[in-house]
Amino acid sequence: MERMAFRQLWRKTKAWDRKAGKGTLGENLRTVAMYHAVMPALFQYVALGLPGMMRKGTDEDEQDMLRSVILGNFNALFIVGDMLTMGFDKLRGKPWAETAPSLPALEMMAELNRLSNRMNKVKDPELKAEYATKLTTKFLELSSLPASNLNKLYKNYEKLIEGDVDDPGEAFLRAFNYSDYMIEGQVTPPTREDMEKLKKENLKLYKQLYPAWEKEFGKKKSKDKNATYNLYKKNPKLWKQKNPGKTIPKKKDNEKF
């Protein structure tokens, strides 16, 4: 429908006659607006979890909605759609704009290897069990089973049955199997300043939370001059995501310092 409307508008413009082609100018403009802007924006709004209705909206939601209106159905084009999306992410300063998507089969194998390595390295039983679950679901997806979605569905309905939801909006989103990221948003870990503030306001709670925070986020920086470089070499993609806009670190000679 959208392509046909574009053709009719082109014929009218080329002939410089609003009666050329099929339909009126207003009808074709309405069709283009409906299929290129309104419908993609509606789909994007639902995919984002109905921000403003079922959850609190963010600045990223507004940017995603603007992208869907501008790109419209071009976003669904093979390769070209990905290129347009990456261009938009670059304008928004997103770190993943520097990483191009690969073939799904290759990405799946890379993810299996990553989860397997992490499962073998961690010593915490809970983390090991979590990685084992993720590895199993990813492996089952090789057989075209929607294992990840089924696992997410199980966790969402488990919270619904137990009543572990904060409001009707969260209950609605979990009932329709939205992810935790879409429901709760990206969680930013507390800074040292936040912990110091908590210490002054609630010393008892601070003593309970500080050991876990120190273990996860409060580790002291290594004296190794190549610590940043080693982190980058270990996982360049992850380093770029955590350090958007920063210069890629170079290896230093420790003996010179």
User: Mean pLDDT, consecutive 10-residue segments, the chain of 257 residues?
Assistant: 53 54 68 79 88 83 86 71 78 70 74 88 86 89 86 92 89 90 71 84 85 71 61 72 71 53
Can you say whether residue 16 is alpha, beta or left, with left for phi > 0 and alpha for psi between -120 and 50 degrees?
left
User: pTM higher than 0.85, yes or no?
Assistant: no
Output the pLDDT for position 154. Answer: 92
Greatest pairwise CA separation for the chain in angstroms: 80
Answer yes or no: are the C-beta atoms of 85 and 71 closer than 8 Å. Answer: yes
Helices (H), the chain: 2-15, 25-33, 39-47, 59-71, 80-91, 104-121, 125-141, 147-162, 168-175, 180-184, 192-201, 203-216, 227-234, 236-242
